[in-house]
Structure 1
Amino acid sequence: MMSFGGAACGRLAEERKSWRKNHPHGFIARPVSGSDGSLNLFHWQCFIPGKDGTDWEGGHYPLSIQFSEDYPDNSPVCKFAQGFLHPNVYPSGLVCLSIIGEDWKPSITVKQILVGIQDMLDNPNPSSPANHDINNLYLKDKCEYGRKMQLQAQKYPFTI
């Protein structure tokens, strides 16, 4: 009988294998390598491309995903860099998105999480703000909000 940690490792190994065979264009997701070269399946470094034709275009946004030993029963923690600007991202970088919160289901995959976060970038949920200042800007001055997002995209060019 597998322990929860063992079950989580098995699921994450399958997620990695599936990702390597088929992932959305421009996305990167991989377990972090330790100093000894071993992979930490519980901590992934990801990059999410901004969608073409949006204020996010041109950016390739780094995101950390931390899985717990009771994954997939509990959702992972997804985090951008501290200070990342978005109505649904806390100033700490923590992502506020229903599919990794109250709507979590064990069947949700890494691919679905990353595509969901990419969709969230250009389609914020103003009724669930994590950053009230950016949310207010989004609601009151879409032009200035768009300008700030374009500037942010320049801070995260595709460099991998």
Structure 2
Amino acid sequence: MKVDLSEFDVMRFPDRGSIVYVLLYVPGSENEAVPFYVGESSKHVGRIGDYVTANFSASTDFKVGEAVRYLQSKGLPVLMKYKESGDRKAEERIVLDRLRSTYRLLNDLKGYDYRQAEKEQERLKIHAFIDELIYAETVRSAVSSEPLSAR
């Protein structure tokens, strides 16, 4: 009996656990994906599970997980690109530096102390930050698509 797996996505099994990854959102069907977060992990794509649970006591997990949920609630698909790395921390810094020259990243939103912070306030800060990223990309796309004579 043949099993239909056509609805499944494919992921190559890793050679090693250490990765550098970039999370991106897709602003529209004709647009390129926009990076919004860079990370590194020794748990390979298992790190994404931390973002899915978005535990408030882990500031980065909550920040990234909440940002992903918020983008998805706006109908914006979120993707992950990753590569295996022999020196994940150094490579993360390189990718961060390169992307920061063009994009604002969630990495730059300050974390919080979960023992003193209020969950709803932190959620609203993340949403406001993401709204700023979306607006900045909308402006960047509009300017880059204008004819040179209009600039």
TM-score scaled by length of structure 2: 0.28
The structure with the greater share of residues assigned to helix is 2
TM-score scaled by length of structure 1: 0.27
- Structure number with greater CO (CA < 8 Å, separation at least 6) is 2
Structure possessing the higher radius of gyration over alpha carbons: 2
